[in-house]
Amino acid sequence: MQTPHIKHGSAVVPEPSLQSPWPTRVHLLQWLENTANRRGMESNDYNATMSAESSPIAPDPLKTPEGSPTATWQELEEVVDELTTAARQCRSAEQFYSQVIDHCVKTLAAIGGAVWLRTANQTMRPLATEGWHTTDFKTSDAGQAEHEAILAQVATSGGVLSINTRANDQPVVLIVGAVNTIRTETDDDHDTELKQLAEEPSATAGIIEIIAPAGQSPRTYRGQERFLQAVCEIASEFHAIRELAGLRTTKSYHRQLLSFSQRVHQAMGQRHTAYEVANEGCQLLGCDRLSVVILKRRKCRLMATSGIHRVEPRSQTAHQIEQLADLAQSFDEPIYYAEGNTENLPQVAEQLEQYVDQSHAREVAIVPVTLLPEEDNLRHTNAGNPSEQGPEVLAVLIAEQFGTNSRPLVHDRVVEVGEICVTAFAQAARWDHLPLRWLSESLERVGNLLLPQYFSKTLAATAALAVVILALCFIPTDFYVETGGILQPQLRRNVFASRSGVIEEVLVQPDQRVQAGDELLRLRDPVLELESKRVTGQISTTIEQLEAVGATKTERAAGGVTRLESYRLSAEQRQLEQQLTNLQQELELLDQQRESLIVRSPIAGEIITWDVEGLLTARPVERGQALLTMADLESSWQLELQVADDRIGYVVAARQKDVAELPVEFRLTADERHQYQGHVTEIAQIAEPTSNEPGRSPTVQVTASWDETAPGGEPVLELRPGMTVRARIACGRRSLGYVWLHDLWDAAIRLVTF
């Protein structure tokens, strides 16, 4: 195996730029353009050489039209552009280098290629291959050692080498390029991490090697080297972008950690601190659930869980979490579980398995928050030597992941969050143990008000408060009970069906003016009609029977009849006459009933029922059923107010105490600009439930008249029955404080008395 670099006359392979891939790319494109121009003249010789000297296993080169140097140059430029775009868009090294090696092998018409990436232990491992087998250079131990020496040489030099060697007993040219890390200068004085990175020396992140067929011209190998050098610098940019993204992520995490520390140390009390740690820590760690268990008198108590306002201490989950916390605080070291794997003692692993079976968690991290003696500088018992006291577990953090798409828990971050919360939990514990801390908080606030810088303001506020209290107690004002209702004419009647039947004809229309006694509806009763026909038929039959008896008596009187026969005919005649009289009286009653099928207006007024014809035509009705509503719109109007039963007491008391006719002020909903006057005329004796609004208290109907003679009492718009109003009933004068706060006063009275 030969190891020297291929000679290129006076040409020297330039070292790759460590700042950006773009200068090398410009040189490459210039060389490609010159080569493409020459290739247009020598295309036939070049194709013949490639066909003769290429290996049988080499892939097909890029297909370009013969004699088209511009197309060749554009294809190569597109390859570089695609790799540059992939360096900025690919998120994994496997995805990026798979595209790199694929483009390199196809573009350079190579036999194969491979990418070697440096691992954490500074060794090279193959990441992506194309037409490559690890046994190609392992035909002997010497061949493997020489191949490793080539990789080491390239990793040390950081450039591009071309080596004549053999693979599978065939002569090939191995073109190897180093992927160097890029150190970018930064002008940000606050970004110390990026400055430290820029000051570090460049290192080789990986190696790209291409197996090219032997026997090609030196000019071809120089072009392949320059192309590989450009690809290596694009790969360097890929590593720089990934490293910069990682630094930015770390920097953002540190800022979030600082904000988290400030929030948890501002909380007062263990419960408040636990809720801050659970909710803010869950977002910081990116876990699905974070639970905080506080140790009180050596007993574990679940204090807070992220996303839950109140923890149920008697639930089975809370009991299991407390058992895990007790186990962790007894060992005083973190416990981890991930997908059935744990490196803990058997008893710990068994209890973890039981908990995971119930909670279905994929990952669990249990970290005790331990206060070391040298850190507890404020504890009273540490007046002596701190080393004489052991560590104290203040709380336990339990982070869990449930979803299959959730990112894995970072154990170091969970431990870091626990370390930050140590002093916060210690301060919260001391705060909760203060005697009468609520009283001390109140006295502290009052004491701050009496300080010299606040005394004048406190005195002014006290004086203003005293004035307000006196005004609320001694300044009288009008007391109103506000309610709602509807507007109706005082003269209003419902029209009822006087007999059961079917409405045959509607004789009126809505808003039609009628007089008292005018026909409104006509009903038809099939039973009454049938009965009338029956009586009429019986009358006709009876009359015919009377005529027959009379004719018989006349005939027999002429021929001579016995006295007995004469008496019988006379009795039959009188019976038929009485039957006829009864039938005629029954017919008169039926005629009266037929007259009652005509519904007449009880008063003079207008029909206020809407769509009478559509509502009543051919409708069967029962006796006493309401059919229409009539009202005299030219008469006076009144308000029907619905006062809640818990407010009616004010109205009744004011009516009994002051005047019988309490003033009423109201506004029509259709005309909010004008206010009208009225007075209470009647209060119902019963309270009726509100069927249309379940849950509301019953109401008492209060009737009030409209004082149209008062100033501004004439309505400014046409009134309609049923218009809604907002009204308030004057219930005398009370103190200003009672008028404003009577609801609160009544609630306090009910609370005290019941």
**Cα 257 from Cα 235, distance rounded (Å):** 33
**How confident is the model at residue 660, as a pLDDT?**
65
Angle in degrees, CA 264, 269, 275, rounded to 5 = 50
What the block records as the tokens of 453 is 């810088």
**How confident is the model at residue 25, as a pLDDT?**
41
**How confident is the model at residue 35, as a pLDDT?**
44
What amino acid is encoded at 512 in this protein?
A: Q
Per-residue DSSP letter, 334:
-
**Cα 28 from Cα 34, distance rounded (Å):** 10
Q: Give DSSP secondary structure letters for 152-199.
A: HHHHHH-SEEEEEEEETTEEEEEEEEEEEPP------TT-HHHHHHHH
> Are 521 and 627 contacting, i.e. CB atoms less than 8 angstroms apart?
yes
Report helix, strand or coil for 475. Answer: coil
Dihedral-angle region of residue 704 (phi above 0 means left; psi in -120 to 50 means alpha; beta otherwise): beta
Element (H, E) at 701: strand 699-706
**How confident is the model at residue 186, as a pLDDT?**
47
> Are 58 and 106 contacting, i.e. CB atoms less than 8 angstroms apart?
no
Positions in the chain whose pLDDT score sits under 50: 1-67, 134-135, 184-190, 193-194, 197-201, 378-384, 386
What amino acid is encoded at 307 in this protein?
A: G
pTM of this prediction?
Answer: 0.45
> Are 546 and 576 contacting, i.e. CB atoms less than 8 angstroms apart?
yes
Quick one: which of 722, 510, 502 has its CA closest to 630? Answer: 510
Q: Measure CA of the first residue to CA of the last residue in the chain; give whole Å.
A: 105
The pairing of beta strand 513-514 with beta strand 476-489: unpaired
Angle in degrees, CA 373, 378, 383, rounded to 5 = 70
**Cα 661 from Cα 682, distance rounded (Å):** 9
The residues, ordered by sequence, that sit 6+ positions from 561 with a Cβ below 8 Å of its Cβ are: none
Neighbours of 384 (CB within 10 A): 8
**Cα 363 from Cα 413, distance rounded (Å):** 14
What amino acid is encoded at 449 in this protein?
A: L
**Cα 78 from Cα 101, distance rounded (Å):** 15
For 571-584, letters b (16+ CB in 10 Å) and e give ebbeebeebbeebe
What amino acid is encoded at 708 in this protein?
A: E
Residues counted in the chain: 754
What the block records as the tokens of 200 is 């570090």
The residues, ordered by sequence, that sit 6+ positions from 395 with a Cβ below 8 Å of its Cβ are: 274, 277, 292, 293, 294, 295, 303, 368, 369, 421, 425
> Are 121 and 221 contacting, i.e. CB atoms less than 8 angstroms apart?
no
Each residue's pLDDT tens digit, 414-461: 999 999 999 899 888 888 887 777 777 677 677 777 878 888 888 999
Element (H, E) at 294: strand 289-296
**Cα 598 from Cα 419, distance rounded (Å):** 96
**Cα 128 from Cα 209, distance rounded (Å):** 11
**Cα 725 from Cα 723, distance rounded (Å):** 7
Element (H, E) at 748: helix 736-753
What the block records as the tokens of 289 is 């659930």
Give residue for tokens 């009763």. 525
Tell me the HSE value of 190 on the side-chain side, using a 13 A CA sphere: 3
φ, ψ at 182 (rounded to 5°): -100, 130
Q: What is the mean pLDDT of the chain?
A: 79
**How confident is the model at residue 63, as a pLDDT?**
44
φ, ψ at 642 (rounded to 5°): -105, 105
What the block records as the tokens of 86 is 């992939």
What the block records as the tokens of 684 is 């119902």
What the block records as the tokens of 249 is 């992520």
